[in-house]
Structure 1
Amino acid sequence: MLSMMYLLSILGLASVAVSAPNAVKRAQTVYLAGDSTMAKASGATQGWGEYLKYSLSLSVSNKAIGGRSSRSYTVEGRFQAIVDIVQPNDIVVIEFGHNDGGGLSTDNGRSVCPGAGSETCTSTYNGQTVTVLTYPAYLINAGKALVAKGAKVIISSPTPNNPWESGTFSYTPSRFTTYSKSAAGQIGSNAMFIDHGQYTANIFQTLGKTKVDSFFPNDHTHMSPAGADTVNRAFVKAVLCAGGGFLNGFIKNSTNSVEGTCI
């Protein structure tokens, strides 16, 4: 009887082994959602997202698109496209703000409804009546959909325009920084806020006017490759100073190896 039970046990294990799918350990992917300051570019300018792969041991997929806002990125289905492919423990960095301002009197398809919460606006875009949400609402909706798929979300404040363009250094965080922090908090424990704008501004202040002016070859928003690389390092510094967050253990740099100070 004992030998028969042993045989049945062995056969049962063999059956499980044959029927079980091959277990493949999968590395996490970092997805980037943002505008031209993050997106891949060419020529005299580049987005900072193109340099993040050199600072991480994880694969980075840059889904940022120039000219987009939190609203247009949503309406075009770009957030949904990331939701559709994201897998548990993937990390999504979201950074908008440069194209979200302006008014809705002449709707460009990018401006968001003013407000810090669930306010809505009715607008006319391309001859159609549309409902426009606030900046935090677009981020919260996207963040919660990503988290529902098991992803982790990093909401990042927008990078600054050239803070030296007036001749002296001047940086004041926009309302989108406050909104970004609020959105991360409302998404929950699987989201974190990184003040990328302030860390970038601090490094720009230390570098001085001549150096920073060279980072903006065409206008006060879009950066040269060297500038974009510096802005990437500011992001990495901010994450390191936050203890690494969801990227803890995957950042190649040490805190002290990246310029700037923790705030």
Structure 2
Amino acid sequence: MKNTRWPVLLSVLALGLSVLPVSAAERAVVTIHLAGDSTMAEKLPEKRPETGWGEFLAVQFQPGTVAVDNRARNGRSTRTFIEEGRWQALLDVTQPGDVVLIQFGHNDQSVEKRDRYTPPADYARNLERFVSDVRGKQATPVLLTPVARRRFDDAGRLLDSHGEYPDLVRALAARGQVALIDMQKRSEAVVQEAGVEASRSLFLWVAPGHANYPNGVEDNTHFSPKGAACIASEFAMALRGSGLPLARRLKADVEAVDCR
């Protein structure tokens, strides 16, 4: 009698292999999900020339190797990102082998804005949840400290504007063995090197008469296109030295951005 079990067994094995998670290193295209605030987010037309550095992320990579899913939004903290269902929506589309960049802090530490403020202990717990959830999806979480604001003292030294929040990110990264890109330190170095005057070009400083800002604007938190490109370039340089598999997808030679 003809043995019919082997074809069936082989079919079952093939099916089992087909559903095994595929690592980021093996996939042709890896999705990078962005969870964060306005400094990272894609902007609406009526906000231009305000630009989030996440808008310049894809160009740091070899064409066809990554897809960027930018879910960062203006005004969001870890707390409101969860409360509005944005975190769950991101998780719902996260696949094994994906990478999730997590950058919050600007709005979490805004104690005067009760609609978004998140106490330090809650901020740390929310970040822990993010890391755990991403790992539960067999994806890679990457923690980012918040980027610098443009605030100088009378001597031209850049001032810290995030208090204890960046250290909470660093502590979690060390404690949980989570990949960390220290965007605070890298962005502070960029702004400090540019100096008091030249650093205005990195931020949303617009003269009166602009269609979106008739009265002009002097915004030392949100980036201009130039500033966003600079910060994205800094992220790419940090990623290159991180040891993460994602770094192998970066362009070999990324055009330098003049941040001064």
- Into which bin does the TM-score normalised by the smaller protein fall? 0.7 to 0.9
Q: Are 1:88 and 2:90 counterparts?
A: no
Q: Which residue of 1 aligns with 2:213?
A: none
Q: Which residue of 2 aligns with 1:176?
A: 165
Cα deviation, residue 84, structure 1: 1.6
Question: Residues 166 and 157 (structure 1 numbering): CA distance in 2 closer, same or farther, change over 3 Å?
Answer: farther
Query: Is the contact made by 1:156 and 1:195 (CA closer than 8 Å) also made in structure 2?
Result: yes
Q: Are 1:197 and 2:184 counterparts?
A: yes
Q: For residues 222-248 of structure 1, what are the alpha-carbon distances to aligned partners after superposition, in whole Å with 9 as ceiling and x for unaligned?
A: 1111111111111112222333x2423
Q: Are 1:160 and 2:166 counterparts?
A: no
Secondary structure at 1:227 match in 2: helix
Q: Are 1:207 and 2:194 counterparts?
A: yes
Cα deviation, residue 185, structure 1: 3.3
Q: Moved runs in structure 1, 4+ residues, more than 6 A?
A: none
CA distance in 1, matches of 2:257, 2:59: 16
Which letter does structure 1 place at the counterpart of 2:59?
Answer: Y
Identity level (%): 30
Q: Which residue of 1 aligns with 2:137?
A: 149
Q: Which residue of 2 aligns with 1:73?
A: 81
TM-score by length of 1: 0.76
Secondary structure at 1:211 match in 2: helix
TM-score by length of 2: 0.77
Matches of residues 49-128 of structure 1 in structure 2 within 5 Å?
Answer: 49-56=54-61, 57-103=65-111, 108-115=114-121
Alignment gaps of 5+ in structure 1 = 116-133
- The number of residue pairs the alignment matches comes to 230
Question: Residues 237 and 171 (structure 1 numbering): CA distance in 2 closer, same or farther, change over 3 Å?
Answer: farther
Question: Residues 66 and 159 (structure 1 numbering): CA distance in 2 closer, same or farther, change over 3 Å?
Answer: same
CA RMSD of aligned residues (A): 2.9
Cα deviation, residue 20, structure 1: 4.3
Q: Which residue of 2 aligns with 1:119?
A: none
Alignment gaps of 5+ in structure 2 = 206-216
Question: Residues 67 and 149 (structure 1 numbering): CA distance in 2 closer, same or farther, change over 3 Å?
Answer: same
Q: Which residue of 1 aligns with 2:209?
A: none
CA distance in 2, matches of 1:34, 1:136: 15
CA distance in 2, matches of 1:170, 1:252: 31
Question: Residues 81 and 164 (structure 1 numbering): CA distance in 2 closer, same or farther, change over 3 Å?
Answer: same
Cα deviation, residue 74, structure 1: 1.2
